[in-house]
Structure 1
Amino acid sequence: MWWVFVVLGIVLMILEIITPGFIIMWFGVSFIIAAIPAYFHAPFAVVLSTFTLALLLLTVFVRRIFVGKFSGKNRTDTNTAALIGEQGVITETVDGVHATGKVRVHSEIWSALSDTGAIIPVGMQVRVLRVEGVKLVVEQR
């Protein structure tokens, strides 16, 4: 009878691949853990208690670790999102009227707009506020 617990556990762990959330996997692992006393012909109450305790511990404690690691909440911004808040230097005068201007952020040159539409001269330090299309909206520091 213990093999039923193992098969059911494996099936549930495979189902976790299809459904996100890290819930079904813990039932599968708990069934596999409960197969241990079932293998030794323990009374049903012991098998049920083992399953319940394993499920409780896994869902309360271990799930938090997995959700934090794999949910993406602690992700690192990439591409243009990584530029927001960065410092830059104006390399070509930013002029809102003529829609011209360039800024160097790190080692890249970007087209730039002023957040207020003001003229920002060459050499001024700026901070990137947001990205609009292919242009960085900056504010003078």
Structure 2
Amino acid sequence: MAMEVITPGFIIMWFGLATIVAAIPVYLGAPTSVVLITFAVTLLILTVFVRRIFTNRLTDKGGSLTNASSLIGQQAVVVETIDPVKATGKVRVRKEVWSAGTKGAETIAVDQIVIVKALDGVKLLVAKE
């Protein structure tokens, strides 16, 4: 279990499960060759097929949004004049104040309502509504 934490991709777990399955023929008194074949086949099946199912279910498909990217399309209120020449400006979105800018050269005054169009690092790019 500890090794699985430091190795990405669910690899070590399949060896453990294959060993448990291979213990069945050992318990039944099967020859070593049967035990090794059971281990190898089980490991192959688990690694190729079951691992794919696990990774597909646990991998983010890009559908979840971070808090910042979920702001795109939201309304905001300008709390500090947005001046593209001075590269200053702030907006309030959902009770949070963010640095803001515009894609164009327009200045947007305080108390104007704007729409968040994009994210540029930690700065929101906005446009007048």
Matched position secondary structure for 2:38: helix
Aligned length: 127
**What CA distance in whole angstroms lies between the structure 1 residues aligned with 2:2 and 2:115?**
51
Change in CA separation of 1:19 and 1:91 when aligned onto 2, cut-off 3 Å: closer
Conserved in 1, the CA contact under 8 Å of 2:114 and 2:126? no
1:89 counterpart (62, 70, 76): 76
Match status 1:41 vs 2:21? no
**What CA distance in whole angstroms lies between the structure 2 residues aligned with 1:64 and 1:18?**
19
2:16 counterpart (24, 28, 34): 28
State the 1:33 CA deviation.
1.0
Moved more, 67-76 or 34-43: 67-76
**What is the aligned partner in structure 2 of residue 105 from structure 1?**
93
**What is the aligned partner in structure 1 of residue 54 from structure 2?**
66
Change in CA separation of 1:132 and 1:29 when aligned onto 2, cut-off 3 Å: closer
Could you say which structure has the higher helix fraction?
1
**What is the aligned partner in structure 1 of residue 113 from structure 2?**
124
Matched position secondary structure for 2:104: coil
Conserved in 1, the CA contact under 8 Å of 2:82 and 2:102? yes
Unaligned runs of 5+ in 1: 1-12
Unaligned runs of 5+ in 2: none
Identical amino acids, percent of aligned pairs: 47
Q: How big is the alpha-carbon RMSD for the aligned residues of Structure 1 and Structure 2?
A: 2.9
**What CA distance in whole angstroms lies between the structure 2 residues aligned with 1:31 and 1:23?**
13
State the 1:87 CA deviation.
1.5
**What CA distance in whole angstroms lies between the structure 1 residues aligned with 2:76 and 2:7?**
47
**What CA distance in whole angstroms lies between the structure 1 residues aligned with 2:13 and 2:74?**
45
